[in-house]
Structure 1
Amino acid sequence: MSQTQPTINEDGTHRSLSNRHVQMIAIGGTIGTGLFLGAGTTISQTGPSVLLVYLILGLFFFLMMRAIGEMLYADPSQHTFVAYIAKYMGPRTGQFAGWTYWLGLVFLSMAELTAIGNYVQFWLPQVPAWLIELCVLSVLVLLNLSTAKLFGETEFWFAMIKIVAIIALIVTGVVMTINHTSTPLGQAAISNLFIELRAFPKGFMAFAAAFPMVFFAFQGIEFISITIGEAKEPRRIIRKAVNNTLIRILLFYILSLVVIMMIVPWNSIKPDKSPFVQVFQLAGLPAAAAVINAVVLTAAASALNSSIFSAGRHLYQIATEAEGKSRFSSFLARISRNGIPAHGILLSGMLMLLAPFISLFRGVGGAFTIVTGISSDLYIVVYILAMLAHRRYRKSPDFMPSGFVMPAYSITSPLSIAFFVLIFASLFVMPDDRAGAFGAIAWCLAFVIFYAFQARRERDVKDVDSLSGQNSH
């Protein structure tokens, strides 16, 4: 076989993603609008202690990726990390996690699509948002229906734009600090980091509230696990992609925040404005808002592109694991000639069409925000289930002691699970997150009730069959 030809998996999907693609997809999954836009809010609330928030959460996300990476290394044939939840926690728990994660992806995609409409209107205010959203969604769905390699190539360049923007910020900030550049807010200096230096400058609750905010900024870091099923040399790539996660977090998040606070004193940062825009404007770049708008547009398009890719694979995984194959699951489980779960992508894309519809009717926006909050909160539940599945994997015959093992497992595994549980519990304390947290609990209870009824019906059927068998004798 030629080296240029992708390896074909047993299910017909193609291993056409190279190390270059997966590494950049990993960066794209780590860096999103949470850094470019949301960082201003967290800095203004916590001051320099925001660095500690990012560092703690970065460490636990790294540990989660090591747990997922360990299972991927042992069995790199799976298309999503949710497959391991089904494998080690049971098919029904796997179905719950699969549908939950897929629905979360769809709603988050709709949120990104709505944001894209707003970003494009920065340049084209006369064009209706619903038309922009429809065009962007159509292009990205068609791109995902082509080949995994083309998706990887697109994500490579999306990630490259984000990296260039961050490097530009860091270089600009370092030059301004070295030259002690004067700005309307004072002088750029390292000493700006130590203004009102206290652990909780706006109180402990403001510090605690930053954890869920930063948690959602890291959301999507697990996307690299969804590319492994279609990656060349998966085991070699898993090690590199996962191990570099912490380095990327330190480099892109921590260093960016340090530079921002050296230029703009943290108590002068406007929470409703991108700190990137504020830095570039102070550096004398009049087009800062337009440049960062383009970068944020790229970040949103990248997130949407990855979500479409991931949503299609999750629907495919759900269909292949369904108990008792129905026509619908058989339809979703088909792989196209070019090795793509096309039906899963199309169905996900069709549901995402609700976003342009919502843009037409502004009154629906409030309900949409609540649903997006619920889907976001449900990700924490899926992450906890992934960590529990990893513990089951460790006790199974599949465990590879010589593989890519999680460091200090006996300590880091229970500590990570406890931390994620604590993050979910904190949502009930935060007024903005409370509705989403209760909605997430309601969704979980709905599944428990559904499966309880399903189990009871199956027992009744067995009892009827048993009785009819006895009567026939």
Structure 2
Amino acid sequence: MEKNKAPQRGLQNRHIQLIAIAGTIGTGLFLGAGKTISMTGPSILFAYLVIGVAMFIFLRTIGEMLYQDPTQHSFLNFVTKYSGPRLGYFSQWSYWLVLVFVCISELTAIGTYIQFWLPHVPLWLIEIVALLLLFSLNTLNARFFGETEFWFAIIKVAAILGMILTALILLLNHFSYTTVLHGQHFNGSVSLSNITYHFQFFPKGVWNFIGALQMVMFAFTSMEFIGMTAAETSNPQQTLPKAINQIPIRILIFYVGALLSIMAIFDWHVLPADRSPFVMVFQLIGIKWAAALVNFVVLTSAASALNSSLFSATRNMYSLAQQHNKGRLGIFTTLSKNGIPLNSLYLVTALALFGPVLTLIPQIQNAFDFAASCTTNLFLVVYFIQLYTFYKYRKSQDFDPQGFLTPKAKYFVPLVFLIFMLIFISLFFSKDTLYPAVGAVVWTIFFGLFSYFKRI
């Protein structure tokens, strides 16, 4: 173990570009879409578009500051710079904690996908084995991480495009099928009428639509990683605008395109809510080899997300230990021979083991929904701080009116704040998300007070 060398950097530009593309495709889409479609029907497309636009504006606020000062690498550094060290301290530790929750939620998703093939193996056992495997991968050098993510990203992007193409082929050939669902025979066909038949904007009520926003938001969280990875390239002022401005077209292709495909293939009214619709639609219409293939793809997506989260949370822990190197935190500043913050990795992996624990708690009906809610809550808290920091930046002397400006910031940034606030409030009106929402408030109050009175 060494203390004086920096963590190894081995990411190349091709890694950055493809990881940025795949970064817009999350487990919230692959696994969470079943629940959101069952709650809102086709109007879920509107929810994805609205939150997608909000996230685009949010990323433009990050991009504007990173463009002006790409040496900062992370938007969290701007919080300290413009909103003060105490708020910076709070947001840095909160963001690290949210990355840990991302690890937990992705781990529960991996267990769900593997049970497709091993339905009799306990979920907690699958999760422990998967975590140990990805922990081992993260002990290797950073370049290996980049290569792993590069190929994970290729599989994920190809899968979405392949599924959309398959839906188009089935649609053009008027594919019909008979399946058994809930013990009854069900006849159907691939058609756009599956989307438009008896269309209602709020088929299960306004509150169900608002309640679905949490999972939609979870599908977009971590997208700020695109801006941070683009800032790591040799010419960030050229790469950053391109990476962020391509997000809207990616949302249309990957999110809206994929959801349209699912609902065109199968009647959304009877689609199971607790399974990945990407897998279920092919299983239900009788193309079982495609269901197995798609399950493998969504499994690699979750593994990719967990791999990235372990990597990011480990580096964040190392950075925090470097900044606040006092007492016991010093052990997290040591590096292995491969340049890996190994003690930080041990800590993050140990905390991720709460994933298997969640599956064993009978009061938690869906461990993935619970972990995803915790993730969304804390992400939103950090995002609120980022929007406040952007306001402070715009008032500072560093503001560059000729830079990569957020469009119509005067109007759109407050609107984004209101959308995020609506999502946060909605978490208190569902029993599945109530406790994580209360936990986020408790964390914000008590750790906020700790950060405020701490000597920094």
TM-score normalized by the length of structure 2: 0.87
Q: Distance in 2 between matches of 1:193 and 1:358?
A: 35
Aligned to 1:426: 426
**Could you tell me how far 1:400 is from its partner in structure 2?**
2.7
Q: Distance in 1 between matches of 2:265 and 2:82?
A: 49
Q: Distance in 1 between matches of 2:145 and 2:64?
A: 25
Aligned to 2:52: 58
Instruction: Give the gaps of 5 or more residues in structure 1.
Output: 1-9, 459-473
Aligned to 2:182: none
Q: Distance in 2 between matches of 1:244 and 1:199?
A: 29
Give 1:308-347 correspondences, 5 Å limit.
Answer: 308-322=310-324, 325-333=325-333, 340-347=340-347
Q: Distance in 1 between matches of 2:174 and 2:134?
A: 44
153, 166, 169: which is aligned to 1:172? 166
* Structure 1 pair 367–87 and aligned structure 2 pair: CA distance change class (3 A): farther
Q: Distance in 2 between matches of 1:449 and 1:83?
A: 20
1:152 aligns with 2:140: no
Letter in 2 for 1:236: Q
Aligned to 2:256: 254
Give 1:135-284 correspondences, 5 Å limit.
Answer: 135-184=129-178, 185-228=187-230, 230-281=232-283, 284=286
Kindly indicate whether the alpha-carbon contact (under 8 Å) linking 2:20 and 2:229 is maintained by their aligned counterparts in 1: no
**Could you tell me how far 1:94 is from its partner in structure 2?**
1.3
Letter in 2 for 1:377: N
Letter in 2 for 1:242: I
Give 1:337-416 correspondences, 5 Å limit.
Answer: 340-355=340-355, 373-416=373-416
Q: What is the aligned residue count?
A: 444
* Structure 1 pair 168–282 and aligned structure 2 pair: CA distance change class (3 A): farther
Kindly indicate whether the alpha-carbon contact (under 8 Å) linking 1:226 and 1:310 is maintained by their aligned counterparts in 2: no
Deviations 1:236-276 (A, max 9, x none): 32222211222111101101111222222332322233322
Kindly indicate whether the alpha-carbon contact (under 8 Å) linking 1:114 and 1:133 is maintained by their aligned counterparts in 2: yes
SS at match of 2:71: coil
**Could you tell me how far 1:205 is from its partner in structure 2?**
1.5
The sequence identity of aligned pairs, in percent, is 46
Aligned to 2:184: none
Q: Distance in 2 between matches of 1:370 and 1:188?
A: 33
1:27 aligns with 2:32: no
* Structure 1 pair 393–135 and aligned structure 2 pair: CA distance change class (3 A): same
Which has the higher mean CA deviation after the structures are superposed, 57-66 or 174-183?
174-183
Letter in 1 for 2:349: G
Letter in 2 for 1:408: K
Letter in 1 for 2:292: A
TM-score normalized by the length of structure 1: 0.84
Q: Distance in 1 between matches of 2:193 and 2:297?
A: 29
* Structure 1 pair 79–345 and aligned structure 2 pair: CA distance change class (3 A): farther
Kindly indicate whether the alpha-carbon contact (under 8 Å) linking 1:212 and 1:423 is maintained by their aligned counterparts in 2: yes
Instruction: Give the gaps of 5 or more residues in structure 2.
Output: 179-186
Q: Distance in 1 between matches of 2:87 and 2:16?
A: 28
Give 1:114-125 correspondences, 5 Å limit.
Answer: 114-124=108-118
Which has the higher mean CA deviation after the structures are superposed, 220-229 or 196-205?
220-229
Q: Distance in 2 between matches of 1:56 and 1:83?
A: 28
Kindly indicate whether the alpha-carbon contact (under 8 Å) linking 1:37 and 1:275 is maintained by their aligned counterparts in 2: yes
Q: Distance in 1 between matches of 2:40 and 2:357?
A: 38
Question: Could you say which structure has the larger radius of gyration?
Answer: 1
**Could you tell me how far 1:59 is from its partner in structure 2?**
0.4
* Structure 1 pair 152–319 and aligned structure 2 pair: CA distance change class (3 A): same
Q: Distance in 2 between matches of 1:89 and 1:196?
A: 50
SS at match of 1:183: strand
* Structure 1 pair 262–351 and aligned structure 2 pair: CA distance change class (3 A): closer
Deviations 1:268-306 (A, max 9, x none): 322233322343235541234422321222121111111
Aligned to 2:299: 297
